[in-house]
Amino acid sequence: MSVWHDLVGQEPVVEQLRSAAEGAGKPAHAWLFTGPPGSGRTAAARAFAAALQCNETPRGCGHCASCHQVLQGTHADVEVIRPAGLSFGVKETRELVLRAASSPSGGRWQVVLFEDADRATEAAANALLKAIEEPPPRTVWLLCTPSPEDLLVTIRSRCRLVTLRTPPVGAVAEVLRLRDGVDADTAETVARAAQGHISRARRLATDPEARKRRNEVLAVPRRLTSVGPAVVAAEALVKAAEAEAKATVEELNESETSALRQALGESTKGRMPRGTAGALKELEDRQKSRATRVKRDALDRALLDLASYYRDVLTLQLGAGSELVNTELSAELRSAAEDGTPEATLRRLDAIMHCRGQLGANVNPLLAVEAMTLALRTR
Ligand SMILES: [Zn+2]
């Protein structure tokens, strides 16, 4: 299987990257991968990094040593930067720029894959800009952000743009069916519910707890009958997001830690070689600061699930004829649509988007969500 295999519903991007990797000369020295969460922008950048380092034809074969190392994150000439906290500072960026300027140790290029490059602080972004303005001959930068506007225009204008789209529901469902063995009905339902977010869809299909938590979020609208229940619902929303985040973080931590232990030479009895404690401690610290971010992301996703409910109500009220996201709730959605007006539904959607903005600005989650559920209540 080639390295492009995991890019679901992204044929134009695969075409663009494949031909860039096949080219005889040096590829563009800076690339910006953008796309909505879950569209696979990091996966696309990683596949491209593998294709750039691959020595087989066609490049990105997926089975040579270089491809394997890049995909597993152990290639010496591919550095992956994954900001753990909410921001990435100037000191770290300067160090990174220095490392990036060195010649590859054995690979074809020195590749730096910067996930969530939008988390670079302003000073960090300026340090990055200098590096991209005067590129070392063998260095290729791969930056990832949700949208091009998330980066300084001066950086953006020096990058070749790679735009991933939200994968179509059908493509996501197909992957779940063929690769994860999910039955056709479930695959279709969760692909729709996840709105193109593949890993989210996979989690919904394989983890009953995740499905249960989503159902609890979607049960919120019918509970918002007065002030008391609205306050209770807010608390439940925040708690559900925390539980979701905990599950995600634990799973990630476990696989990362075991990958690192193996890479550092863990014995079959589980003993670690001398001198590896520092690296493990560093990973642990990174995992701790990531937890904060994951918690915020989980709450944001719950709000998007909630928004999908009102979006469905609005679709029905306007008779727009587009498909519902939450087909399993169609009876309830229909009666909610009849009971209200499109204006009221729009006001509710606004309240949810406002809450998302507040959370982005680090307002206390419970307070922000409480204000939202109060605005959502029916009387
Ligand atoms: Zn290869």
Distance 22 CA to ligand 1 centre (A): 12
In the chain, what are the domain boundaries? Answer: 11-163, 169-204, 223-250+288-377
Distance 39 CA to ligand 1 centre (A): 24
Distance 74 CA to ligand 1 centre (A): 14
Distance 105 CA to ligand 1 centre (A): 17
Distance 75 CA to ligand 1 centre (A): 12
The alpha-helical segments, DSSP class H, found in 40-121 are 41-53, 65-72, 90-100
Name which CATH class applies to 11-163. Answer: alpha beta
Answer yes or no: are the C-beta atoms of 131 and 95 closer than 8 Å. Answer: no
Distance 247 CA to ligand 1 centre (A): 34
Distance 83 CA to ligand 1 centre (A): 27
Distance 100 CA to ligand 1 centre (A): 22
pLDDT at 320: 78
Measuring CA to CA, which residue among 37, 117, 81 is closest to residue 300?
37
Q: What angle do CA 158, 162, 166 make, to 5 degrees?
A: 145
Torsion of CA 87, 89, 92, 97, to 10 degrees: 100
> What's the average pLDDT block by block, 10 residues per block, for the chain (379 residues)?
88 95 88 88 95 93 94 92 79 91 91 92 92 90 92 93 92 90 93 87 90 91 91 91 84 81 82 83 78 84 94 93 88 94 96 94 92 88
Distance 70 CA to ligand 1 centre (A): 9
Distance between CA atoms of 373 and 239, rounded to whole angstroms?
A: 14
Distance 67 CA to ligand 1 centre (A): 4
Distance 69 CA to ligand 1 centre (A): 9
Answer yes or no: are the C-beta atoms of 223 and 229 closer than 8 Å. Answer: yes
Distance 46 CA to ligand 1 centre (A): 13
> What are phi and psi for residue 322, nearest 5 degrees?
-75, 160
Q: What b/e sequence results for 333-358 when a residue is b if at least 16 CB atoms lie within 10 Å of its CB, and e otherwise?
A: beebbeebeeeebeebbebbeebbeb
Distance 106 CA to ligand 1 centre (A): 14
Distance between CA atoms of 157 and 377, rounded to whole angstroms?
A: 45
Residue 194 has a CB neighbour count (10 Å cut-off) of 27
pLDDT at 53: 96
Fold of 223-250+288-377: Zinc Finger, Delta Prime; domain 3 (1.20.272)
Distance 253 CA to ligand 1 centre (A): 28
Distance 326 CA to ligand 1 centre (A): 41
Q: What angle do CA 34, 249, 36 make, to 5 degrees?
A: 15
Distance 137 CA to ligand 1 centre (A): 22
pLDDT at 249: 84
Answer yes or no: are the C-beta atoms of 301 and 307 closer than 8 Å. Answer: no
Question: Which token pair is 264?
Answer: 């550092």
Distance 55 CA to ligand 1 centre (A): 6
pLDDT at 86: 67
Distance 364 CA to ligand 1 centre (A): 47
Dihedral (CA of 262, 265, 269, 273) sign: negative
pLDDT at 272: 85
Distance 68 CA to ligand 1 centre (A): 7
